[in-house]
Structure 1
Amino acid sequence: MNINELMAFVEVVESGSMTLAAGRLHRVQSSISQRIKRLEQQLGVTLFDRGNGLVPTEEGQLLYDYGKRIVGLIEECEWRFRRGLARDVLRLGVIECMPAPIIDRIMDVNDADGVELNIVVGNTMSLIHSLNNDELDAVIVGAGFAGADHVRVPLFSDKLVLVTERSAAKIDSIADLNDSPFLLRSKKSASFRNLEILFLDGGIVPRRVVECGSYPILFMNVRKGNGVSLVLNSSVSGGLRDEIRVHEIQGRFSKFDVELLYRKTVSHASMTFFRQTVVDALASRAP
């Protein structure tokens, strides 16, 4: 396997389309298809369930998890050499469900004097683990998981909504979802706690709970009618709202707070500046 084949595979999984992946990589579709076939031949596995769109098989999901990390490391290496090895870098972890406008505002901070960000994306629990192991300087995660040795800086609140396939009936009560299949990114994400509260409050016993591994795969399965999911309202982009149905239901499960965490012992020279810059950048955000 080579990096071009791996990059093609990752793009297909995340876009859910050979055509879109080809466009993003500036290749023709036949080139992407050939790279996927070569990967399957080399590994001796089937990477996609082609009878159900382009849904990764179990082996495909495993390769995606590895491929995403490998491609990310290569991009990080290239970035570090382009920007210079001697620069002061602040390592920031950001939860995967963060809406694109928020990421854009954080990236604007990257251009500010005194701060150069190296951003890692992941779920809340894995990011906090990396923070505690000094692999990250700060994380932006779901609230409620900070330890006694963390500094907590509240950033903003958003609401969680239920999403289903476009043709699904309106959800009048969460109790109506009993025996439904539920989709989620990961049981290590902060929103999984909210999902458990939803089950408790609605007296729901789910038919099954499926971890999708990534939000593109989650939304793809929602569109296909393979289950219902609880996601950040602001993560459902305008185009996606035309393809799925969003249900706003009140409950204690629907509030999602986001905060910045860093260790009390951190001595990073840029942390104070970064903290205030991020707070200022997100202060005017409307969920």
Structure 2
Amino acid sequence: MQLKSLRMFEAVCESGSFGIAAQRLHTVQSNVTAHIKKLEDEVGAQLLVRANPVFPTPAGHTLLQYARQMLQSHDHALALLQSPQFALGPITGVLRIGSMETTAALRLPPLLARLRQQHPGIDLELAVSPTASQLDELRAGRIDCAFINGAAPQSDLHSWPVFREELVLVSNKPLKQFPSADDFCASVFLAFRQGCSYRQRIELLMASMGISAVRIMELGMLDTILGCVAAGMGYALLSRSLVEAQQQRFDVHWMTLPGKTGRELAWVDTCFVSGALEGWSPAVHAFAKVLGVDPQSRESRPVPLAMAA
């Protein structure tokens, strides 16, 4: 059944006339008559009593209920997708989010809770993976948006910085001075798997100290990394705000990265990334608003740590 036919059927039922229905829908009466006849052929039942006024048969009453539901759903979906940022009705659907584990652990819970409070009809799916994996998932259409380290290098993706993190060296005991190259060569770094941007900065930091082959042990999960650092297995490079938030759970300590190179490597922007704006769903628009992201610019209103931690 075509929506156009159902709309004509509804108009005839409401007006009691083929002619009036044709006027309301800006078409000719013969077109309305043809669509009603087609509907009757499709459902295999008479839908209207051709009297004056025209009125629906019992089968017509049944179809009218479903027709109104389908037309209302169609009109609501069309209004949302054409002007999602100005949607008046409730926003529904699934929002598929990708995130680095550190961002998911520290920043996202209060923001997702706020989104859920404002739009309870949105269902959330969160997938945690390194930056490189998220970009692959986003371009393949398996997630709607992502939180990655830095802007997306691909020209078909749009990026907005939303958080700024300071990376620090994490150890199992207080450090009076930054470890030497010999100290690092005798130890290991505990990190996420290949593709993690923090891992890349470990390699850059070690290269700046003349260490060409740094030993990195992949542990995969944040709690495992912090637990193993606390147990004295090695060092880690993590965001300062995250380490401070986890110090009650793990006996770890941190030190800022020294020198010009260290300071350049320490500060990283976490960006909200998504595909073409024309393809955004109402749920993505709603989430961008919570984040303070203006889809029409490359700027965003940074989310205060108190609101996102």
Coarse TM-score class (shorter-chain normalised): 0.5 to 0.7
Q: Report the RMSD for the aligned CA atoms in angstroms.
A: 2.6
What do the CA deviations read for 1:32-75 (whole angstroms, capped 9, x no partner)? Answer: xxxxxxxxxxxxxxxxxxxxxxxxxxxxxxxxxxxxxxxxxxxx
Q: Distance in 1 between matches of 2:206 and 2:126?
A: 33
User: Partner of 2:280 in structure 1?
Assistant: 267
Using the TM superposition, give the Cα deviation of residue 238 of structure 1 relative to its aligned residue in structure 2, in angstroms: 4.3
User: Partner of 2:176 in structure 1?
Assistant: 170
Letter in 2 for 1:213: G
Task: Call closer, same or farther: CA 1:232–1:176 in 2, change over 3 Å.
Answer: farther
What do the CA deviations read for 1:197-248 (whole angstroms, capped 9, x no partner)? Answer: 1012121245621111211111121111111111111111445266112111
Question: What SS does structure 1 have at the residue aligned with 2:102?
Answer: coil
Structure 1 segment 186-225 matched on structure 2, within 5 A: 186-205=193-212, 208-225=215-232
Decide whether the 8 Å contact of 2:151 with 2:271 is kept in 1: no
Hey, which bits of structure 1, 4+ residues long, moved more than 6 A? Answer: none
Using the TM superposition, give the Cα deviation of residue 185 of structure 1 relative to its aligned residue in structure 2, in angstroms: 1.5
User: Partner of 1:277 in structure 2?
Assistant: 290
Q: Distance in 2 between matches of 1:238 and 1:283?
A: 17
User: Partner of 1:103 in structure 2?
Assistant: 108
Question: What SS does structure 2 have at the residue aligned with 1:155?
Answer: strand
Decide whether the 8 Å contact of 1:178 with 1:203 is kept in 2: no
Structure 1 segment 1-287 matched on structure 2, within 5 A: 87-98=92-103, 100-107=105-112, 108-113=114-119, 115-166=122-173, 169-172=175-178, 175=181, 177-179=183-185, 180-205=187-212, 208-238=215-245, 240=247, 243-250=251-258, 251=262, 252-264=264-276, 266-279=279-292, 283-285=303-305
Question: What SS does structure 2 have at the residue aligned with 1:220?
Answer: helix
User: Partner of 2:68 in structure 1?
Assistant: none
Decide whether the 8 Å contact of 1:165 with 1:225 is kept in 2: yes
What do the CA deviations read for 1:121-146 (whole angstroms, capped 9, x no partner)? Answer: 22211111111110000001111443
What do the CA deviations read for 1:231-281 (whole angstroms, capped 9, x no partner)? Answer: 111111445266112111231221121000001152313322321212279
Question: What SS does structure 2 have at the residue aligned with 1:91?
Answer: strand
Task: Call closer, same or farther: CA 1:174–1:156 in 2, change over 3 Å.
Answer: farther
Q: Distance in 2 between matches of 1:121 and 1:151?
A: 20
Question: What SS does structure 1 have at the residue aligned with 2:247?
Answer: helix
What do the CA deviations read for 1:104-126 (whole angstroms, capped 9, x no partner)? Answer: 22222222237442222222111
Using the TM superposition, give the Cα deviation of residue 174 of structure 1 relative to its aligned residue in structure 2, in angstroms: 5.5
Task: Call closer, same or farther: CA 1:91–1:174 in 2, change over 3 Å.
Answer: farther
Q: Distance in 1 between matches of 2:189 and 2:168?
A: 13
Task: Call closer, same or farther: CA 1:224–1:122 in 2, change over 3 Å.
Answer: same
Decide whether the 8 Å contact of 1:181 with 1:206 is kept in 2: no
Decide whether the 8 Å contact of 1:165 with 1:243 is kept in 2: yes
Question: How many residue pairs were aligned?
Answer: 201
Decide whether the 8 Å contact of 1:123 with 1:188 is kept in 2: yes
TM-score (norm 1): 0.62
Letter in 2 for 1:243: D
Task: Call closer, same or farther: CA 1:130–1:169 in 2, change over 3 Å.
Answer: same
Task: Call closer, same or farther: CA 1:182–1:231 in 2, change over 3 Å.
Answer: same
Task: Call closer, same or farther: CA 1:238–1:271 in 2, change over 3 Å.
Answer: closer
Decide whether the 8 Å contact of 1:159 with 1:256 is kept in 2: yes
Unmatched tracts of structure 1, length 5 or more: 1-85
TM-score (norm 2): 0.58
Decide whether the 8 Å contact of 1:163 with 1:245 is kept in 2: yes
Decide whether the 8 Å contact of 1:157 with 1:255 is kept in 2: yes
Question: What SS does structure 1 have at the residue aligned with 2:233?
Answer: coil
Unmatched tracts of structure 2, length 5 or more: 1-90, 294-300
Higher-Rg structure is 2
